[in-house]
Amino acid sequence: MKETKFIDHTVLKATSTKEDVKKLCEEAIKYDFMSVCINPCFVKDAHEFLQGSGVLTCTVIGFPLGANTIATKVFETKDAIQNGAEEIDMVINIGKAKEHDYDYIEEEIRAVVEAANGTLVKVIIETCYLTDEEKVEVCRRAVNAKAHYVKTSTGFGTGGATQTDVKLMKDTVLDKALVKASGGVRTKADFDAMVSAGASRIGTSNGTTIFGGGNNDSNASY
């Protein structure tokens, strides 16, 4: 697979506009990225901008805190897919993970996977807030719930992706799921390090800089 197809080209700032999303889509088409990842209110717009391009429309659920109820995440998922989302990145309930209520985590992931009804689901575990033991157990529960990916970060926490976390996650899920690295991937060296550690997808707002030397600061935190 060509390297640009590892990229989920991302703009998730609160101040993002329809014009920002249009620019993001144009860049994703130009560089042949795998997807654009945008807030749910822009799913219809992105899907229209990307029509016929081969670039997928990805959106976020329970973002960025993960503290929505399961019913809300299920509704968000169904609504997003109805509007044209082709991939779903959901945030787990981080507080429940810290309480070690892993049954709840598995239940909510499964509920979103079932609501997605075959649409690819990535589970954001927000590694910066979890111990290694918690990361491993959450990844195991994501596998149990039939998620397609586990993902490091929202890009809005206290830290982003690290090689150590990506490797730990990959060693946990093995061939039962894939790993997405996001948060702080800004250079080709960062990209290479994450792929080397086991990432199959990279979430970043810096894809044009990584592959074309361009300047894209649409969401510097991501």
Q: How far apart are CA 62 and CA 24, in angstroms?
A: 22
Q: How far apart are CA 30 and CA 9, in angstroms?
A: 12
Q: How far apart are CA 208 and CA 133, in angstroms?
A: 35
Helices in the chain by DSSP H: which ranges? 18-31, 43-49, 70-82, 94-98, 102-116, 132-144, 163-173, 188-197, 207-212
The answer to whether residues 122 and 87 touch, using CB atoms and an 8 Å cutoff, is yes
18 in catalytic set: no
Catalytic annotation, pick one of 45, 89, 165, 190: 89
The answer to whether residues 64 and 86 touch, using CB atoms and an 8 Å cutoff, is no
Total length of the chain: 222
Helix (H) or strand (E) holding 182: strand 178-182
103 in catalytic set: no
Tokens of 78: 């169904």
Catalytic annotation, pick one of 96, 122, 135, 151: 151
Sign of CA dihedral 68, 110, 6, 31: negative
CB atoms within 10 A of CB 93: 22
165 in catalytic set: no
Catalytic annotation, pick one of 73, 96, 122, 180: 180
Q: How far apart are CA 46 and CA 21, in angstroms?
A: 7
Catalytic positions are: 89, 151, 180
